Amino acid sequence: AQKSVNVLTNAVLAVPLQELVDFEEEARKLAEKKERLLSEIERCERLLNNPGFVNKAPADKVELERAKLEDYRRQLGEVRKLLADYRDQR
């Protein structure tokens, strides 16, 4: 069981997280975030795969979309890891 452990000056406090965190609710929120990220990744990829956008848009706008895509992919990896961790808690 997961727990949060804090060391105090004269004591150690261990609190089981299952009593404080609704893992089902957190997993639901993460699943929603995952879907939003997948949607944003698809949007960015579609935009960046469009030669009309890449060739005509200002370079800083294209670079911004590339940075967004990279960030969305990073976030998606983190969300997937957390979802796997929550599944392991069951």
pLDDT of residue 23: 80
Whether CATH 1.50.10.20 fits 22-89: no
Q: Which of 51, 71, 73, 53 lies closest to 62 in space, CA to CA?
A: 53
**25 or 51: which carries more pLDDT confidence?**
51
Give the residue carrying structure tokens 């961790």: 85
Q: Which of 20, 34, 17 lies closest to 83 in space, CA to CA?
A: 34
pTM: 0.76
* CA gap 68, 11 in Å, rounded: 45
For the chain, the distance separating the N- and C-terminal CA atoms, rounded to the nearest angstrom, is 10
- Please state the rounded mean pLDDT for residues 9-31: 74
* CA gap 27, 77 in Å, rounded: 15
- Please state the rounded mean pLDDT for residues 73-85: 92
Q: How far is CA 66 from the centre of its chain?
A: 18
